[in-house]
Amino acid sequence: MPPVAVGQIVDVEVTGLTHEGAGVGRYQGYTLFIAQALVGERVRVRVEHVKKNYGFARLLQILEPSVQRVAPPCPVFDRCGGCSLQHLEYEAQLRHKRQIVADNLQRIGGFTVAAEGDGASGRAAAGDAVIVHPTIGMAEPWRYRNKAQVPIGEQDGGLVGGFYAERSHTIIDIDQCLIQHEASDAVVRVVKRTAARLGITPYDEEQHTGLLRHVVTKVGAKTGEIMVVLITTEEFIPQRELLIEAIRREVPGVTSIVQNINPERTNVIFGRKTIPLWGRDVIYDYIGSVKFAISARSFYQVNPVQTEILYEKTLQYAGLTGNETVIDAYCGIGTISLFLAQQAAHVYGVEIVPEAIADARRNAEQNGIGNVTFAVGAAEEVIPAWKEQGITPDVIVVDPPRKGCDEALLTAILQMRPKRVVYVSCNPATLARDLKLLATGYVVKEVQPVDMFPHTGHVEVTVRLERKDTVN
């Protein structure tokens, strides 16, 4: 039997931090997870959920604070589920994220990880130990997100919009978010106020009634162009022209307003049909010198400053001299492909989303980049087909979704035997799992975490792998 019961108040020493940012404490040998508690703190908590081997508790009082604790500047930090690490000083966040990567490589991948500080030059630290470099952070880790997806709902008879409370679908109504671009805040404020005035009904998730589900914004960091996406349950929007007029009048820089229709009872944000309401159907932005068209549903990294750093490091790890054939799996709208094409002989990109490939081809054309070929399909099917056609890559780059690479793709990579593999990941757990399989034919040389999402538990990683028979 657990030594605690629901409702019991206990004092706990916090000895660890989960990957999501919750404190880990022990009471009589029993593990309690405590949101907003930090390592080294002594805290008073109320037990809220109890399982056989662990439980969850709510922080009531900090009896002895950590020296790394800071006052979170966001007024809804304690209620919103978005930024779980605002109370931890930024340099400590970066160290924590490096440790997340190292822990996953050790626990899931079975790798030996060099101590922090070893191998800083990129050479092996000791034996077969994997080098995990310090996390590259931001000089200004606020207002970095160029995309917002804000759910709209109803509370106390009024229209609200903000972000979900942690582990719930209760909307915390907010007018500003300190990690979003200011333009996104402005758009959401205008849409909420105008929709309420015009009688545009908010979506009720439980009853599956109402019209306006989400407001999505995308901002070109270098161009200043703004896209507004209104996600609705049906096509008809009452007094639509007045809503469009208000957005255009009150938010300078809006160049695209589109509507996406999602009539399904689902947690998926976007539906299948997107129609333009005003302006272009895309906005433009740059990563380095490469210009990209960004449509409503296309994936584009949300932190442009850190994306450039991540892609430069990926390009470095690819080791291109201008003579290589490169395959970019999960190429999306061609962001990494076009970066690589500037220093490769030819790049082949594959992506399962047809709209993304259409964007990729448009992006290649508008940048005058002709040494790229894009194909629609599953990477694990298209890449072996390319092999049958005689395409022999020197480098393969993968940037999969959170679930990681399909095992068939990893097998295809091992069979194609490129000299180098560069793995870009947004999920250290699936990264470690996939690297374990690739390690049968490749040496994991170095790992570079990049802080794409300050104040959250997420971390992006790029990894350099060399084929075993090419390693000195």
- Residues taking part in catalysis: 426
User: Nearest Cα to 453, choosing from 293, 286, 310?
Assistant: 310
* Residue 397 C-alpha from the chain's centroid: 18
265: number of Cβ within 10 Å: 9
200: number of Cβ within 10 Å: 23
User: Nearest Cα to 179, choosing from 228, 146, 150, 137?
Assistant: 146
Q: How far apart are CA 140 and CA 358, in angstroms?
A: 34
Task: For the chain, count helices (H), then strands (E).
Answer: 9, 22
Structure tokens at 63: 């009896």
Given a contact cutoff of 8 angstroms between Cβ atoms, the answer to whether 4 and 10 are in contact is: yes
- The 3-class secondary structure across 373-432, one letter per residue, is EEEECCHHHHHHHHHHCCCCCCEEEECCCCCCCCHHHHHHHHHHCCCEEEEEECCHHHHH
Given a contact cutoff of 8 angstroms between Cβ atoms, the answer to whether 28 and 66 are in contact is: no
Given a contact cutoff of 8 angstroms between Cβ atoms, the answer to whether 63 and 11 are in contact is: yes
Given a contact cutoff of 8 angstroms between Cβ atoms, the answer to whether 422 and 337 are in contact is: no
Q: How far apart are CA 384 and CA 228, in angstroms?
A: 39
Residues ≥6 apart with Cβ < 8 Å to 210: 154, 201, 202, 203, 204, 233
Task: Return the half-sphere exposure (C-beta side, CA atoms, 13 A cut-off) of residue 399.
Answer: 26
Residues ≥6 apart with Cβ < 8 Å to 197: none
**Amino acid at site 117:** G
- Compute the CA torsion angle 451, 452, 457, 463 (nearest 10 deg): -60
